[in-house]
A = this chain, B = another copy of it.
Amino acid sequence: MSVPYLINGPNGHIPASEKIPVIARPFVSERAKKTLDLVERFVEEECIPADAVFAQQTGQGTVARFDAHPKVIEDLKAKAKKLGLWNMFLPKNHFKEGAGFSNLEYGLMAEYLGKSVTASEATNCAAPDTGNMEVVAKYGTEEQKKQWLGALLNGEIRSAFLMTEPQVASSDATNIELDMKKDGDYWILNGQKWWSSGAGDRRCKLYIVMGKSDPSNPNKHKQQSVILVSADTPGITIERMLSVMGFDDAPHGHGHITFKNVRVHKSNMVLGEGRGFEVVQGRLGPGRIHHAMRSVGSAERALEYFLARLNDPAKKPFGKQLFEHGIMLERVARSRIEIDASRLAVLNAAIKIDQSNAKDALKEISEVKVQVPQMLLDVLDRAIQAYGGAGVSQDTPLAQMWSSGRTMRIVDGPDEVHMLQLGRNENKRGPSLLKRIEAQKAKTRELLKFYGLQEKDVLELKRVSPGSKL
C-alpha cells in the first residue's frame, strides 16, 4: 500500500517499533516488533479507512442497525488472518491458543488497534470476546472449550459477559442478584442484566452470566456463580439496547436482557458453584490493560487530529493559523506529556502481569484504570475544542471517541471504586509510617544532645505572662 499514509515526521515515517519507549524495549522480542509494525500499517492503511465504510454498512434504523453485519469487517478479518494478525491478545505464558505474545507486546499492539473502530474485531482482539475467550480457555472444561472456544478463536461467533444489573449498585459486585436455582441437572435463571456489551450483534451466541446461586452463604464472595448460556436458550429476551452518550454502538451495542425461567444444564457451570468472583477477577486484569492501551491509541489519534487541524491552511482565525496561537501549542504539549506518562504506566502494569499475574498487579492495574480514561478525555476535549463545530459533529471521529472514553470511567468498576481500593491499600502503610516518623524524631533528639544543642523551635519566643510589659 502507498507510502503517504504513514508519513508523520518531517523526515518521513518512524515505524511503531522504533517509537517503543526505551524503558520498555528489553521486554519486546524481534518478532513482536515486526508484528507491531505490521499492526500499525494494517490499522492506518486498512482499518481506519474502513471505519467509515463500516458505519455506512451498519445503516439506519433502530432495529436494522443491530441486524446489520457490515461486509467490510469480514474482509478485514480475512486480510488480518492472512497477515498473521490474529488473536494476539492471548498471553503466551498462559495460553497455547494465541499468537504467542506477552501482555506487554500485545499492549503495544493494542495501542494501534485503539486508533480504529474496526481494528480490534478485525484481528479478533475485540472486547468482550478477548476476556471471554480467556475465561473459557483458562477455566473451561474440555466440553465447554469444544463447544465455544474454537468458534470464538476463529472469529465465527461473538460473545457477551453479563454481569451488571440495572436495579442494584453493581459497582459492588456482591450486590448482583440474578437468581440461580438448582432444578435437578439444571440451573433456572431469573433476573435481568444490562450493559451486556456486544449482545446487539446477531453473531453473539454465547453469554457468560454471573448470578447468585447461594444467597445465604455467609461469605459474600462465595454466593455467586458464573455459567455459560447459549444466547438462543428459551426465556432470554433482549428488551432494548442502551445508548452511550448518544451513540448506539451498533451492531455491537449494549443490551438490556431479561431472563425468565431460563434452564441451563449444570455442565455449563464455570470453575464450580460459588466461584463466580474467582472467575470475574481472573478475567478483568488483562482486559483492563487492553482497554487502557487502546485508550492510549485513541488519545494518540485525537492528538493527530488536533495537530492536523492546527496546520489546516483554511483555518485562520484572526489572521493566524491555529498553530501560531501559543495556547494551542501549550495544549499539544500537555497532551503529549499526559499520553506519554500514561503509556509508561500501562506498559509497566502489563509487564507486572507478565512476570506474575493480574492479582499481583492489582495496584498497577487500578492505577491505569483510573488514570488513562481521564487522560483520554482531556486530550479529546482539547482536540474537539480546536475543531469547534466539526469537533462535536460526525465530521471527525472525536465525538464518538469521547463517548467511548467517558464510559471507560464507569465500566469494569467506576473510578471511585478503584480509588477507594487503592487508597485503602496504600493506607495500610500508615501505622508503620507513623512509627517511623516518631523514630526519626527520637533520633533527632539524640543527635541534638550529641551536638550539645537543646531542642528548640525555629520560632522559639518564650514570653511568660506576655501582656505584663509593653
Contact = CB atoms under 8 A, between A and B. Distances in A.
B390 A233 contact: no
A175 B243 CA distance: 37
A247 B248 CA distance: 10
Contact of A243 (B331, B348, B399): B399
B439 A2 contact: yes
Interface string A408-450: 0111001111111111101111111111110111011011100
A184 interface: no
A99 interface: no
A271 B52 CA distance: 45
A415 B431 CA distance: 25
Interface stretch (A58-66, A137-145, A275-283): A58-66
Given A337-B371, A432-B9, A439-B2, A244 B316 contact: no
A26 interface: yes
A218 interface: no
A400 B127 CA distance: 26
A231 interface: yes
A233 to B, nearest CB: 6
Contacts of A50: 444, 447
Interface secondary structure of A, over-half rule: helix
A201 to B, nearest CB: 10
B308 A430 contact: yes
Nearest to A324: B326
A419 B459 contact: no
Contacts of A4: 435-436, 439
A389 B245 contact: no
B234 A465 contact: yes
Contacts of A351: 22-23
Interface stretch (A80-88, A164-172, A289-297): A164-172
Interface in A201-222: 202-206
Contact of A447 (B53, B371, B468): B53
Interface string A223-249: 000000011111111111111111110
Contact of A308 (B57, B194, B428, B437): B437
10 contacts: A8-B433, A26-B26, A26-B27, A55-B458, A72-B447, A236-B464, A243-B392, A305-B437, A307-B429, A329-B426
